[in-house]
Every structure is written in C-alpha cells, then in structure tokens.
C-alpha cells in the first residue's frame, strides 16, 4: 500500500508540500477540514505496484559544447534494431535527419550557426531528447 500525506496552504496557494511517502499495511482515511499542522488529507492506494524503470540504452553526445563542429552521437546498451535521429533548431525546425543510423555517428555542425540544437534520438520506438551547444 502507498500512503501520500500532504499539507494545504490555507492562504489559497494550493498544496504546500508532499512531505511523506511510506508503505502502510492498513488503509488510512481521508480527512477533510481542520487537522493538526493544517493537514488536509491522507490518501492510501492499495493497488499501486512498484516497478523499477530501466532504460536499455544510453545516448551520449560529445563534445558538448562543441567548438570545432564535429559531434559524436553514441548509443550504448544491447544492439538496437532501429536507430533514427533528428537535429532540430530551437524553433523545432528539422535541420538534419538520419533514419538508418548506427550505434555511433559523427555529425559535422561546422556549417551551422552557433547556438543550441536539439538531438532527438529514436531507438526501437523509444525517444531520447538532448541538447547540444555549438560555439
């Protein structure tokens, strides 16, 4: 079971804090109205499963920031079936795309303006987004 306790800011600012998370073996009631320490509620969800979220791939982009313009995109983990990446400017415009990428690719940014770019990597349908700074 999962218990979430929170406090309410009675000045109209909403929930002030989420300060206690613990496992309980018995359900707890929901209190509404004045309570010690301005506590408004206490929820119990007996059906909350616990899962470890594992990311099967690590995407590295280096050097970052880049002064020379040549950047490496490296994917580590089990061998992916499909790798794609897109490079976008800060306005979301796609400036480069590779739909059949390998686990390590070099991209030449020397023809691009200095600034921040977004590298959106899709690996077997999962998406990772990172920024790269070109000086």
pLDDT tens-digit series, residues 38-78: 444 454 455 555 444 455 788 999 999 998 778 999 999 88
10-44 pLDDT, tens per residue?
Answer: 555 554 444 444 444 444 444 444 444 444 445 44
Determine the CATH number of domain 57-134. 2.60.40.3080
For the chain, what are the domain ranges? 2-45, 57-134
Q: Give the helix/strand (H/E) hosting 115.
A: strand 115-123
- pLDDT score at 102: 93
User: End-to-end CA distance of the chain, in Å?
Assistant: 51
List of residues 6+ apart from 40 with CB closer than 8 A: 6, 7, 8, 31, 32, 33
Question: What whole-number distance in Å separates Cα of residue 6 and Cα of residue 19?
Answer: 6
């Amino acid at each position: 079971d999962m218990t979430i306790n929170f406090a309410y800011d009675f000045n109209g600012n909403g929930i002030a804090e989420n300060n206690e998370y613990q496992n309980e073996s018995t359900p707890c009631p929901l209190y509404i109205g004045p309570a010690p320490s301005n506590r408004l509620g206490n929820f119990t969800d007996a059906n909350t499963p616990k899962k470890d979220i594992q990311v099967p791939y690590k995407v590295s982009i280096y050097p970052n920031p880049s002064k020379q313009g040549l950047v490496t995109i490296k994917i580590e983990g089990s061998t992916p079936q499909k790798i794609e990446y897109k490079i976008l400017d800060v306005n979301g415009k796609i400036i480069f795309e590779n739909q059949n990428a390998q686990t390590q690719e070099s991209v030449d940014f020397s023809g691009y303006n200095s600034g921040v770019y977004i590298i959106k990597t899709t690996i077997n349908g999962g998406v990772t987004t990172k920024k790269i700074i070109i000086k």
